[in-house]
Amino acid sequence: MEMWNLTTRLLRFMASDLGVEQQTLLAAFRGKRQTFALHRYPPCRHPEKVIGISPHSDGFGLTLLLHVNDTPGLQVSKDGRWHPVRPLTGAFVINVGEILEVLTNGHYKSVFHRVVVNTKRGRATIVVFQDACINGVVKPLPEIGEPPRYRAIGKSEYFKGHTIEVLGQGERFIDTLKKGDQSSDWSLDKSMEGVKVVNRDIITEDAAMAFADHHLQIPDRYVRSGEVPATGVVIVGGDYDSSELPVVDMARLLDPEHREEEIAWLGSACRSWGFFQLINHGVDEAVIQKMKDSTVNFFELPLEDKNAVAVRPGGTDEGFGHHFRSSAGKLDWAENLIFFIYHGSFRDSIDKYAMEMSNLTMRLLRLMASDLGVEHETLLAAFRGKRQITALHHYPPCHHPEKVIGITPHSDGFGLTLLLQVNDTPGLQVSKDGRWHPVRPLPGALIINVGETLEVLTNGHYKSVFHRVVVDTKRSRVTIVVFQDACIDGVVKPLPELGEPRYHAIGKSEYFKDHITEVVGQGERFIDTLKK
C-alpha cells in the first residue's frame, strides 16, 4: 500500500512534466499487478568471476528499490559506460521500466542496469515492480500529442516477447516495437495467424441506416433466418416464475444474520444457472448514471464520429464496429464499442466505473470463496491484476426479429462478467435444461455470470453457460459489460484446493486462441475439450 501510494504521487508529478492529465497516466497503472522481489547478493572473494544480476532493462512500468543495507552494487548504463550507484541513507532508487517508456512515447527512458557483488559484504534489497497498460495493451498515451513511435501490442504478447526474445541478450524488446523497425512484427494478433472466426468489420452507412430506420430492408449480411427459433423459449410469468434468474441480495450477503443463507443461495445460482441478478450491490449510483449517459451519448453520435474509433481489420479487439463474423459471413444485429482505448468524454467515466466493477468483483469473489470452502486470497489472487475489458453494446430494434440476432449463442471466455442494463429493454436469454430462459432485468440490478475460466478455476463447481441476445421489434437495448480475466500464474487450471482436477491445465494464450478459433459460434465450449 505504501509503495502504491508513493507510485501514485510520482505519477502525478510525471504527468505534470509530460503535460498530460494526471488521471490519464494514473489509469494506466491503477489496478495493475504489483510484484515484490527480495534479493540477497552474498559476498564473493572473486567478484570478477560472478555477477549479481546480468544487464537488463525492467519490463514493467515503474521500479522502486529499497536498500536493506548500505552495500553498493547497482550499476546503470549511460553513454556506453557503467555508472555505480552510491545508495543514500533512507532513499529509494526509482527507475523507468520499458512499459513507461512506451506509455510516454519515448520521452522517458528505460535503461540497462546490472548488479556486481562485493568481496566482503552481502547486499540485500527490496524491489517493487508496478505494472501498467492501457486496457490490456502496451502503447503510447494518445494524449502525448504526437504520432506514436511504438507499435501497440497486447500485454501477454509483450511479456512473451520481452522474456523469450530479449532477456539477457543485450537488447530491449521495445526497440523492436519502434515504428520503422521491421526486425520483429510482434502484433497482438500474431498468435492468431490463420484464424478465420475473428473478423472485425466496420459499421457501414447502409447498416447504420437500417439500424436507424427499421422499415428499411435488412441488409443481407445480417439476415440469419433459422438461427433464432421461437421454440424452446420459456415464457416468463405465471407458472414460469421458477424459471427466472436467481436474485442475490448483496445487503443480505453483508448482514451477519443472513450472510450464511445468502452465500449458499449465491453458490446455488453459480452451480445451477451460472447467472444471477445482483441487487443492493453498493456501486456508486452517480458513477453508474454518468457511465450510462456517456454510453447513450456515444451511440447517438453520427456514424462518421463513431467510426473515428472504428475497428481495424487485422488489428486488436479495440474499437467500434462488429467483432465477430460467422463462418457464413453473417453479422450480429448490433453495434459495439470495446475499450482497449479511451474515447473522448469516456475517460473519466470508464475509469471510475471500471474501479467500481473491480471493487465489486473482489467482494463477490470473497463470498464465492466462502461458498467454495477455499481461502479468500486463493481465489482473489487468480483475478488480481488481470485484464479488465469493457464493452458497450447497442441492439437496434428490428421489425423482423426472427431474421436477425443480437449476439449468437456463446459462453464467455473470461472469469466473471458484470452486465449493466442502460435501459429496461429485455433481450438476454440464458440456456438451461435445453431451453432458452428470457431474463427480465430488475431496476438497478447488475447481471453477473460465470465465465469459462472461473468454471475451470472452481474445478467445475460453478458453471459457465450459453446465452444469447434477441432483438426487440420497437425498442433498442443498450448494455455495458465488464469482463474480468483470471488465471493462475499464466495458466488456466483448477485451484489445487478443490481436489483432483477435472480439467487439463492450459497456458492462457493457448486457451484464448483455441477458445476463439474452435468454439465461437459452433455450439460447444472449448473447456469441455479440457475435461479429463
Among 142, 177, 212, give the residue marking a domain's end. 177
* 161, 213: one domain: no
Interstrand relation of 247-249 and 275-279 (parallel, antiparallel or unpaired): parallel
* 173, 274: one domain: no
- The residue range of the domain holding 76 is 1-177
Mean pLDDT of 333-357: 75
CATH code assigned at 101: 2.60.120.330
> pLDDT at position 465, please?
95
Quote the percentage of the chain above a pLDDT of 90: 58
pLDDT band per the 50, 70, 90 thresholds, residue 387:
confident
Tell me if residue 222 falls in helix, strand or coil: helix
Among 177, 209, 229, give the residue marking a domain's end. 177
Residue 357 lies in a domain: no
Q: By the 8 A CB rule, do 200 and 207 touch?
A: no
Residue 185 above 70 pLDDT? no
Mean pLDDT of 252-269: 97
CA–CA distance, 341 with 363 (Å, rounded to integer) = 27
> pLDDT at position 194, please?
30
Lowest pLDDT segment from 112-116, 240-244, 365-369, 444-448:
240-244
Q: By the 8 A CB rule, do 269 and 275 touch?
A: yes
Between the alpha carbon of residue 5 and those of residues 71, 140, 425, the distances in Å are: 27, 24, 42
Number of separate helices (H) and strands (E) present in the chain: 13, 24
Residue 408 above 90 pLDDT? no
DSSP 90: T
Instruction: Copy the grid coordinates of residue 126.
Output: 527490496
> pLDDT at position 178, please?
82
Residue 354 lies in a domain: no
> pLDDT at position 342, please?
41
> pLDDT at position 344, please?
47
* 41, 121: one domain: yes
List, in sequence order, every residue forming a beta bridge with 126; answer none if it has no partner.
Answer: 38, 66
Residue 192 lies in a domain: no
* 164, 269: one domain: no
* 157, 224: one domain: no
Q: By the 8 A CB rule, do 402 and 276 touch?
A: no
* 63, 23: one domain: yes
Between the alpha carbon of residue 278 and those of residues 248, 281, 289, the distances in Å are: 5, 6, 17
For residue 101, count other CB atoms closer than 10 A to its CB: 23
> pLDDT at position 1, please?
82
pLDDT band per the 50, 70, 90 thresholds, residue 530:
very high
* 165, 230: one domain: no
Residue 444 lies in a domain: yes
Q: Which of 214, 196, 497, 518 is nearest to 375 (CA)?
A: 497
Domains identified in the chain, total number: 2
Residue 192 above 60 pLDDT? no
Mean pLDDT of 219-233: 70
DSSP 169: T
Residue 469 lies in a domain: yes
Quote the percentage of the chain above a pLDDT of 70: 85
Query: What one-character-per-residue DSSP string does 278-343 give?
Result: EES----HHHHHHHHHHHHHHHTS-HHHHGGGB--TTS-S-EEEB--B-TTS-B-S-EEEEESS--
* 255, 290: one domain: yes
* 67, 139: one domain: yes
Q: By the 8 A CB rule, do 462 and 270 touch?
A: yes
Instruction: Copy the grid coordinates of residue 16.
Output: 505534470
Angle, helix 285-299 to helix 346-372, in steps of 10 degrees: 130
> pLDDT at position 419, please?
98
Q: By the 8 A CB rule, do 519 and 490 touch?
A: no
Q: 145-172 pLDDT, tens per residue?
A: 778 898 888 877 787 666 654 444 456 7
For residue 9, count other CB atoms closer than 10 A to its CB: 10
Mean pLDDT of 480-491: 93
Q: 52-107 pLDDT, tens per residue?
A: 988 888 889 999 999 999 999 999 988 878 899 998 999 999 999 999 999 999 99
pLDDT band per the 50, 70, 90 thresholds, residue 394:
very high
CA–CA distance, 242 with 238 (Å, rounded to integer) = 9
Residue 123 above 60 pLDDT? yes
Tell me if residue 367 falls in helix, strand or coil: helix
* 169, 49: one domain: yes
Backbone region of residue 503 per phi and psi (left: phi > 0; alpha: psi in -120 to 50; beta: other values): beta
pLDDT band per the 50, 70, 90 thresholds, residue 141:
very high
Mean pLDDT of 208-214: 87
pLDDT band per the 50, 70, 90 thresholds, residue 406:
very high
Tally of CA atoms within 13 A in the half-sphere of 399 that contains its CB: 8
Q: Helix, strand, coil: what percent of the chain each, to 5?
A: 35, 25, 45
> pLDDT at position 308, please?
84
* 209, 110: one domain: no
> pLDDT at position 295, please?
94
> pLDDT at position 124, please?
93
Mean pLDDT of 105-124: 92
> pLDDT at position 126, please?
94
> pLDDT at position 48, please?
84
Residue 408 lies in a domain: yes
Of residues 237 and 345, more confidently modeled: 345
DSSP 114: E
Backbone angles phi, psi at 445, to 5 degrees: -90, 155
> pLDDT at position 100, please?
95
> pLDDT at position 57, please?
87
Average pLDDT of the chain, as a whole number: 85
Residue 99 lies in a domain: yes
Q: 264-307 pLDDT, tens per residue?
A: 999 999 999 999 999 999 999 999 999 999 999 999 999 998 88
* 166, 259: one domain: no
Q: 235-249 pLDDT, tens per residue?
A: 444 344 446 899 999
Residue 147 lies in a domain: yes
Residue 341 above 50 pLDDT? no
